[in-house]
Amino acid sequence: MTWRRICAPDSIAERQLKKFEIDGIPVVVANYGGGFRAFPPLCPHMEEPLEQSGIIEGRTLTCTKHLWQWDLEAREITGSETEKSLFFYEVKQEDGALFAFIEQEHRYEFEDEDDMDDDAFFSQ
């Protein structure tokens, strides 16, 4: 079973970001008004803790460190400065609780090793 219970939905206010440790896996849950989203706590840009650096306005999540933005409804990048996607865990509500589908912790590759080690790409 990789659907993991997070919390009661009404424990996260609208426009709030809340961090949880679920079976040792850190996850941030956002209530953007149109629903809930769950994602790893660190901003994929420079590892800011999104439960602190993030703000929700409308359906947009902004990391206030460098103003990277994502559309929480569409689960897409928004804003011209944003270079990396946010990884989303699936969420569902069942039996009065909020669940996230977390098989394993998702970690971004902050070192960009895949990119930087791709000789074929850089020799173009």
Partner 1 sequence: MTEEPTAGPDGLARVTLQSKSGVFEYACLPGETLLAAGLRQGITLPYECATGTCGTCRGRIMQGEAIMAWDKAPGAVKLNLEKGDRLLCQTVAKTDVVVRVPSAAVQGAFPKGIVPRHLTGVLRQSRRLTHDVVQFSVELDQPVDFDAGQFMTLEQPQVRGLRAYSMTSYARRTRRLDFLVKRLPGGGFSDWLFSSEIDGAELKLFGPLGRATFDPAEDRDIVCIGGGSGIAGMMAILDHACQESYFADHRGWLFFGVRTLADCFFLDRLSYLAQRAGDNLCITLALSHADPGTRTHPDHPALRLDTGFVHEAASRGMQGKFAGVIGFVAGPPPMVDGALRMLITEGKLPAADIRYDKFA
Q: What is the binding site for partner 1 (CB under 8 A)?
A: 46-47, 55, 57-58, 62, 64-69, 79-81, 83, 110-113, 115-116, 121-124
CA separation for the pair 29, 21 (Å, rounded): 11
67 secondary structure, DSSP code? T
CB of residue 17 to partner 1, shortest distance in Å: 13
Nearer to partner 1, 104 or 124 (CB): 124
Instruction: Rank residues 2 and 85 by Cβ distance to partner 1 and give the closer one.
Output: 85
CA distance 79 to 1: 36
Q: Given the complex with partner 1, which of 3 and 60 has the nearer CB atom? A: 60
> How far apart are alpha carbons 22 and 39 in whole angstroms?
12
